[in-house]
Amino acid sequence: MQDLRRLRYVTENYTNLQGLRWIIWGFLCLAVAAEDGGWLPTFVLILVAMPVGVVLFLWSGYYYTHNFGHVEAPDNAHIEMLRIAVLGVTALTSFLVDRTIRPPIYIAPLVLAGGLAIIHRHVGRPYRWHYLALALLVAAADIALLWVELAPGTALLRPGVVLWTAIGLSLVISGFFDHRLLSQSLKPFK
């Protein structure tokens, strides 16, 4: 019975569980963090990393369709898209607050942590526990920055570096676990 529930959950969330896509976006976010910190030239990000990321993203869609088939979107897919849109607008606003007002604690990673917790609550339970764990880690890391003393002006504490690193690592880790859940639940075509 547990396997049947898990299979139903995976088919209802098939598109969101395509973890390789999230891993690719995560590495792109890490590249953006590296560019914001001055460790990756902007032209390399735009001319190499982004096109390679788009190609890999498209390939991953082919990989999932070829290996696991196609699943129709559930009836409530529009609600999920609305949640993602609201989270995106909130994240962008919090990032702009971090960049302009420069509060003592970064707001954007806390918004990211809240978004991960909301995803866990609404669509993650019981199989995507890693979203809640990531939410706690992102929030704890953000709060811990209050006690870290680096040289003034260091690139590591720029809002963009902190935010894009948190997003990138969250996407890579959650993508790994999502892919694992999908690939263990659905057997590839032979």
Residue 2's pLDDT band, with cuts at 50, 70 and 90, is low
CA distances from 187 to 63, 69, 96, 122 (A): 13, 10, 44, 26
Relative orientation angle of helices 107-119 and 159-185, to the nearest 10 degrees: 20
**Could you give the dihedral angle defined by the CA atoms of residues 120, 160, 165 and 20, in that order, rounded to the nearest 10 degrees?**
70
User: If we measure between CA atoms, which residue out of 164, 154, 148 comes closest to residue 98?
Assistant: 164
In whole angstroms, give the CA distance from residue 31 to residue 33: 5
Element spanning 187, H or E = none
- Which pLDDT score, from 0 to 100, does residue 125 have? 73
- Which pLDDT score, from 0 to 100, does residue 53 have? 92
User: If we measure between CA atoms, which residue out of 30, 52, 25 comes closest to residue 40?
Assistant: 30
| pTM, 2 dp | 0.79
Query: Are the beta carbons of 163 and 98 closer than 8 angstroms?
Result: yes
In whole angstroms, give the CA distance from residue 100 to residue 33: 18
- pLDDT of residue 1 exceeding 60, the answer is no
Helix, strand, coil proportions of the chain in percent (round to 5)?
75, 0, 25
Higher pLDDT, 174 or 127: 174
